[in-house]
Amino acid sequence: MSVDFLKDIDFNQLAQLGMTYGLKLLGALAIFVIGKWVARALTKTVKKLMERAGVEPTLTSFVGSLVYVLLMVVVILAALSGLGVNTTSFVAILGAAGLAVGLALQGTLSNVGAAVLLILFRPFKVGDFVEAGGTAGVVEEINMFSTIFKTGDNKIVIVPNGAIIGGTITNYSAKETRRVDWSFGIGYDDDLKLAKKSLEEILTEDDRILKDPAIFVAVSELADSSVNFVCRAWVKSGDYWGVYFDTIEKVKLVFDEKGISIPYPQMDVHLDRPQGS
């Protein structure tokens, strides 16, 4: 029975089919192996070029991974085509799947796009004190989906990159120096020149305040219950808050010592009595 079955087999046809599909399989394997090697080589080249150009490591890694995935998709399609598989349907399926994934992850992908913009334009970097996305703090990390802040009270706040790139970004660490502004009020009966001289001496005596640009002290307003001074001084960015708070304390102590009042809002009420009362 088995012998009769073997007689019905056309070994020449089997050999021809094996030769044909065997060559196609070897060709597909060769395309895959060589294509994978080329994809890795091109990915490494792209990463090296981006590193030489000074691109952020996060963006370099992301672009490298994206290039490798896209190249491998092309390699796999080429290998399947080498086997004789019609890849048109695969391309259509991949396109439909990509569209569906894109719609489903629209918000996530917008954060990725925002991360690319943040890394390219560099409005801030890790270690900067920044106000963005409704949060103020030191930037701890910038990843492809969010930026991580550490606030002044040591809380970790994670803000989506889309919320940052779509709003106002204030970088307090971008410049080496910052201007400190104060407003102080004195009473109308106080010595104006003495108060101005005292404020100038307080600012001049602080070694943390820079000599250039020079300090600025001037009367800014004759308010309802006080004469207001505006004071401005330039300091190194790291000294900003120390100078700000120390100066307020120093002004209060000096004004008390010299008898200069700091008035609070008040209102004078005059009562008119009717005649004959």
- How is domain 10-104 classified at the architecture level of CATH? Orthogonal Bundle (1.10)
User: Does 100 or 150 have the greater pLDDT score?
Assistant: 150
CATH architecture entry for 124-171: Roll (2.30)
Q: Where are the domains of the chain?
A: 10-104, 124-171, 177-258
| Residues 85-105, mean pLDDT to the nearest whole number | 62
Would you place residue 105 in the very low, low, confident or very high pLDDT band (cuts 50, 70, 90)?
very low
Mean pLDDT, rounded, for 144-164: 89
Model confidence band, residue 195 (pLDDT cutoffs 50, 70, 90): very high
Instruction: Report yes or no on whether pTM surpasses 0.75.
Output: no
Q: Name the β-bridge partners of 222.
A: 227
| Structural domain 177-258, CATH architecture | 2-Layer Sandwich (3.30)
CB-CB contact of 173 with 237 (8 Å) = yes
- Place 167 in a pLDDT band, splitting at 50, 70 and 90: confident
Q: Output helix, strand, coil percentages for the chain, rounded to the nearest 5.
A: 55, 20, 30
Handedness of CA 92, 93, 94, 95 (dihedral sign): positive
Other C-beta atoms closer than 10 Å to the C-beta of 175 total 10
Tens-digit pLDDT profile for residues 27-37: 778 888 888 89
pLDDT given at position 203: 96
pLDDT of 15 reads 58
Position 52 scores a pLDDT of: 79
> 45 or 230: whose pLDDT is higher?
230
| Average pLDDT of the segment spanning 3-21 | 55
